[in-house]
């Protein structure tokens, strides 16, 4: 079965073709990073306009890279939410138009479930059940995952998402955009113990990152002169370590408490090199197996959406052309 996946929930227009539920034949991502860079964050109105420009060429490229035409596609999976409504509507409208014109089955996919499903795009997919940490620009949630569509929330952020904590820190310091990527790079040359940043709510499985951001702001305000660029690596390394500490500790504790020996780490922040390394080493000592998708499948992509779509098609699920986008869509309890 060949599924065409389409994703446009934030600032990446993406399309991919997946064979047999987990083999990516193509994975095209048109990033808008350079467009939003000058604003220091995603501007929703601009994002939707850019999606409109990119959506058709991106889909055509995904088909071409997979060596096929729409004739070879058996179904279309599209991100329905959560995300920016104006962005989601572009991918959704394109998917509906194709489904109608080609009489192809259509299914709407939850973007967060897509992030978790990215773990299946490898030679070594995790067996259910497992604990999953979805950590991105908009979400930081620990789930117990019993199967596709069967998620139980065990912990979540009470305020900012971890990706947001990175993005806001980089913006406060004027380091560049997108913050997570910049901090990851700078931290490689920095001392993780140079600055003491707080680790909030250590006892709980929920997260809070707003205090971390405030402590950075306080540090900046206490100084008479702004931090110079040569001071950034130490700041980046110390700040990144504070984020990684809580993410790793709480996720592994959640796994231990629920008797799980498998942990999936996914979403844009799972691209972070220190987080990936920390999870591997800390989990090994607890006898927990960690599954982190390749970086290209951690940040937003359509291959992960097609994986969920293929599963839903297999279960006989179909959506009608009245399918609407939703800005909020928690992965519900089974």
Interacting span for ligand KG4 (CB under 6 A) from 55-63, 193-201, 265-273, 321-329: 265-273
Counting contacts by CB under 6 A, is residue 180 touching ligand KG4? yes
Asked if 301 and 169 touch (Cβ cutoff 8 Å), the reply is no
Residue with smaller CB distance to ligand KG4, 26 or 141: 141
Counting contacts by CB under 5 A, is residue 136 touching Zn ion? yes
Counting contacts by CB under 6 A, is residue 137 touching ligand KG4? yes
Residue with smaller CB distance to Zn ion, 7 or 319: 7
The pair phi, psi for residue 267, each rounded to 5°, is 100, 165
Counting contacts by CB under 6 A, is residue 160 touching ligand KG4? no
Residues 1-40 that bind ligand KG4 (CB under 6 A): 10
Residue with smaller CB distance to ligand KG4, 99 or 187: 187
Strands (E), the chain: 2-7, 12-19, 23-31, 75-81, 106-110, 130-135, 140-147, 150-156, 262-266, 289-291
Counting contacts by CB under 6 A, is residue 190 touching ligand KG4? no
Half-sphere exposure of 290 (CA within 13 A, CB side): 21
Find the binder of Zn ion among 184, 241, 300, 319 (CB under 5 A): 300
Residues 299-318 that bind ligand KG4 (CB under 6 A): 299-300
Counting contacts by CB under 6 A, is residue 267 touching ligand KG4? yes
Nearest to 9 by CA among 116, 114, 85, 108: 85
All residues at 6 or more sequence positions from 38 whose CB lies less than 8 Å from its CB, including other chains = none
- In the numeric block, the tokens 């912990």 are attached to 155
Question: How many amino acids of this chain bind ligand KG4 (CB under 6 A)?
Answer: 19
For residues 22 and 307, give the distance between their C-alpha atoms in angstroms, rounded to a whole number: 6
Counting contacts by CB under 5 A, is residue 113 touching Zn ion? no
Interacting span for ligand KG4 (CB under 6 A) from 19-27, 66-74, 95-103, 269-277: 269-277
Pick one of ligand KG4, Zn ion, none as the site partner of residue 11 (Cβ within 5 to 8 A by kind): none
Pairing of strands 289-291, 140-147: unpaired
Find the binder of ligand KG4 among 108, 155, 163, 293 (CB under 6 A): 163
How wide is the angle at C-alpha 205 spanned by C-alphas 186 and 258, nearest 5°?
A: 115
Find the binder of ligand KG4 among 8, 136, 157, 208 (CB under 6 A): 136
Nearest to 214 by CA among 246, 158, 172, 178: 172
Pairing of strands 262-266, 289-291: parallel
For residues 334 and 332, give the distance between their C-alpha atoms in angstroms, rounded to a whole number: 6
**Sheet with strand 75-81: strands edge to edge:** 23-31, 12-19, 2-7, 75-81, 106-110
- Say whether 158 sits in a helix, a strand or coil: coil
- Say whether 136 sits in a helix, a strand or coil: coil
Nearest approach, Cβ of residue 272 and ligand KG4 (Å):
3
Nearest to 117 by CA among 227, 207, 191, 7: 7
For residues 194 and 315, give the distance between their C-alpha atoms in angstroms, rounded to a whole number: 52
Residue with smaller CB distance to Zn ion, 63 or 265: 265
Find the binder of ligand KG4 among 8, 26, 140, 272 (CB under 6 A): 272
Nearest approach, Cβ of residue 255 and ligand KG4 (Å):
22
Nearest approach, Cβ of residue 304 and Zn ion (Å):
9
Counting contacts by CB under 6 A, is residue 271 touching ligand KG4? yes
Interacting span for ligand KG4 (CB under 6 A) from 30-38, 99-107, 222-230, 264-272: 264-272
Find the binder of ligand KG4 among 66, 216, 269, 308 (CB under 6 A): 269
Rg of the chain on CA atoms, in Å: 20
Question: Binding residues for Zn ion, per CB under 5 A?
Answer: 136, 300
Question: Binding residues for ligand KG4, per CB under 6 A?
Answer: 10, 136-138, 163, 166-167, 178-181, 184, 267-269, 271-272, 299-300
């Amino acid at each position: 079965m060949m599924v065409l996946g389409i994703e446009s929930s934030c600032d990446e227009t993406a399309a991919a073709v997946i064979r047999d539920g987990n083999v990516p034949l193509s994975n095209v991502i048109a990033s808008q990073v350079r467009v939003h860079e000058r604003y220091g964050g995603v501007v929703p109105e601009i994002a939707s306009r850019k999606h409109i420009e990119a959506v058709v060429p991106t889909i055509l490229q995904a088909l071409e890279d997979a060596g096929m035409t729409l004739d070879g596609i058996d179904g279309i999976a599209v991100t329905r939410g959560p995300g920016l409504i104006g962005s989601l509507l572009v991918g959704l409208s394109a998917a509906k138009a194709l489904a109608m014109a080609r009489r192809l089955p259509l299914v709407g996919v939850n973007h967060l479930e897509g992030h978790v499903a990215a773990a299946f795009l490898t030679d070594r997919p995790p067996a259910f059940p497992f604990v999953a940490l979805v950590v991105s620009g908009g979400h930081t949630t620990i789930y117990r995952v019993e199967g596709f569509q069967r998620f139980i929330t065990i912990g979540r952020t009470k305020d900012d998402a971890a990706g947001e904590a990175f993005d806001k820190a980089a913006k406060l310091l004027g380091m560049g955009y997108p913050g997570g990527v910049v901090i990851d790079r700078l931290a490689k040359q920095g001392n993780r113990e140079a600055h003491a940043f707080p680790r909030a709510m250590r006892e709980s499985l929920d997260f809070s990152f707003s205090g971390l951001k405030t402590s950075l702001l306080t540090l900046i305000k206490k100084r008479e002169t702004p931090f110079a660029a040569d001071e950034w690596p130490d700041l980046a390394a110390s700040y990144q370590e504070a984020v990684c500490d809580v993410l790793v500790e709480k996720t592994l504790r959640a796994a231990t408490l629920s008797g799980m020996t498998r942990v999936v780490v996914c979403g844009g922040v799972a691209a972070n090199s220190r987080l990936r390394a920390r999870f591997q080493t800390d989990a090994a000592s607890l006898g927990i197996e960690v599954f982190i998708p390749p970086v290209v499948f951690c940040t937003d992509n359509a291959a992960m959406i097609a994986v969920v779509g293929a599963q839903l098609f297999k279960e006989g699920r179909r959506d009608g052309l009245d399918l609407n986008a939703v800005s909020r869509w928690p992965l519900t309890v089974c």
